[in-house]
Amino acid sequence: MPLPYSQTVERILAAQHSRYALPENIPGKALLVHQHFSVAGEMPRLQGAAWIDYVGRILDVSIARRAQHSGFRGEIDTYVMKDLIYLDSRTDPVTQTRSSARISKDNMRDYCFHVAVEGIIETVTGAFAQRKSEQFVPGILALDMNQTMRMVRPSHARVLAFFLPRAMVEAQLPDAESLHGRVVTYTSPLTRMILDHLRKLCRELSSMPADAVEEAIRACAQLILAAFGKQQQLDNKARAAARSALRHQVQRYVNNHLRDPNLQPEQIQAMFQLSRPTLYRVFEPESGLANYIRNCRLRAAAIDLIDMPQLDITVIAYDLCFGSHSDFTRAFRRAYGITPQDFRHLGLESHLL
Query: How does residue 66 score in pLDDT terms, banded at 50, 70 and 90?
Result: confident
3-state SS, residue 332: helix
d(C-alpha 47, C-alpha 38), whole Å: 9
Q: Which residues contact 343 (CB under 8 A, 6 or more apart)?
A: 302, 305, 332, 336
Whole-number Å distance between alpha carbons of 140 and 225: 11
3-state secondary structure of 96: strand
In this prediction, residue 27 has a pLDDT band, given cuts at 50, 70 and 90, of: low
Average pLDDT over residues 77-101: 93
Order across the sheet with 183-185: list the strands: 33-38, 74-81, 84-91, 157-164, 111-118, 139-144, 183-185
Identify residue 245 by its one-letter amino acid code: A
pLDDT tens-digit map of 182-214: 988 888 888 888 888 888 888 888 888 888 898
Residue type at position 31: L
pLDDT, tens digit (0-9, with 9 covering 90-100), for 150-171: 999 999 999 999 999 999 999 9
On the question of pLDDT at 144 being above 90, the answer is yes
Higher local confidence (pLDDT), 119 or 242: 119
Q: Report, as an integer, the average pLDDT of 303-313.
A: 89
Residue 349 confidence (pLDDT): 54
Output the pLDDT for position 232.
82
Question: Is residue 46 very low, low, confident or very high in pLDDT (cuts 50, 70, 90)?
Answer: very high
Contact yes or no for 100/127 (Cβ under 8 A): yes
- Mean pLDDT for the stretch of residues 15-40: 72
**CB atoms inside a 10 Å sphere around CB 51:** 27
Q: CA angle at residue 124 from 140 to 195, to 5 degrees? A: 10
pLDDT at 348 over 80: no
- Classify residue 318 by its DSSP letter: H
* Per-residue pLDDT at 98 exceeds 60: yes
* pLDDT at site 282: 84
**Mean pLDDT of the residues in the chain:** 85
Work out the pLDDT band at 148, boundaries 50, 70, 90: very high
Q: Kindly indicate the confidence band of residue 77, based on its pLDDT and cuts at 50, 70 and 90.
A: very high
